[in-house]
Amino acid sequence: MDFSLNLGVLDEGKLVKIDENKLYDVTVIGAGPAAVSAAIYSARKGLSVAMVGLKVGGQVLDTDGIENIIGTISTTGAKFAESLHEHLKEHEIAFKEGNLVTEIKEDGKDKIFVTDDGKSYRTKTLIVATGAKPRGLNIPGEKEYTGKGVHYCSTCDGPFYKGLDVAVIGGGNSGVEAAIDLSGIAKSVTLIEFMPEMKADKVLQDKLAERENIKVILNSATKEVIGKEFVESIKYVDRATEKEHDLKVNGMFIEIGLSPRSELVKDLVKINKIGEIEINNENNMTSVKGIFAAGDVTTVKQKQIIIAMGEGAKAALGAFEYLIKEY
């Protein structure tokens, strides 16, 4: 088997142009931490690697401060994305930046993928690392204050609210876990749930009830985020009385789940009921031989940067093993 490397050097370090006439060993779809990790690990194995994604960093670019990547005490989303890009440039990877893959077809053992500029390419294996996007409330002020008091990950951004007042939107497992997590950091936590009852597991609700600095508001709809430079309050409506309330907070965490970006492969590989790509935990292969997946788009439970990077590496090693043993 020929694991030929890409040749040539561009201004982007060792990154090269993608070649329509080349059969790549591995193609990574996505440009977030999982995708970058998969591409680098594949290149380090001597494989020819292509990568297609909009912008290096993915969801990381929407994150203000990052303090939970071991070995990096503190950084910002923008700086971390830049470091990912710099690391990519150390390897001979064919990176098609600013484009999306719109179609994937099988041709025997090979895969053909088409990008949004109408060009098609061939590859022996695929690693889908398209990530996920937080489910939002789509209310006034949410978009404007994202990163300025509106957050979607308590683990990522909770530590910035030590001793402050925060709100958590969502009474499912994600919301209740976030509220419990934040209660050990923030001065007070107010959990707002749309339905008359919380949907979280009983064991989580019991733990929630033990925390004295958590207040729960049920049957209420969050309507607006209010602030100046940063969030100052949120407006919610009691659905039973239709009475409007203002809650003063320094920050809010919208924890109503993630929406996996799996539309591209939903008719090709097996996905679960919420759209996550099902993978083999041993090597990250999907239900289709030669197609692997990594990061937030998969069924891996914990959606964290450091975990996504590990999963990207695992998918690359899985693809390498598949090429040796089965291609």
Q: What residues are annotated to the active site?
A: 153, 156-157
**Tokens 């893959």 belong to which residue?**
101
- Rounded to whole angstroms, the maximal C-alpha distance in the chain is 70
Spatial separation of the C-alpha atoms in residues 28 and 85, rounded to whole Å = 15
Residue 191 and residue 173 in contact, taking contact as beta carbons nearer than 8 Å: no
3-state secondary structure of 246: strand
The continuous run of DSSP H or E covering 155 comes out as: helix 154-157
Residues in CB range of 61: below 8 A, 6 or more apart: 55, 77, 78, 81
246: β partners: 235
Residue 294 and residue 281 in contact, taking contact as beta carbons nearer than 8 Å: no
Closest CA to 167 of 143, 183, 156: 183
3-state secondary structure of 219: coil
**Tokens 């978009």 belong to which residue?**
143
**Based on the number of CB atoms within 10 Å of its own CB, is 321 exposed (0-12), middle (13-18) or buried (19 or more)?**
middle
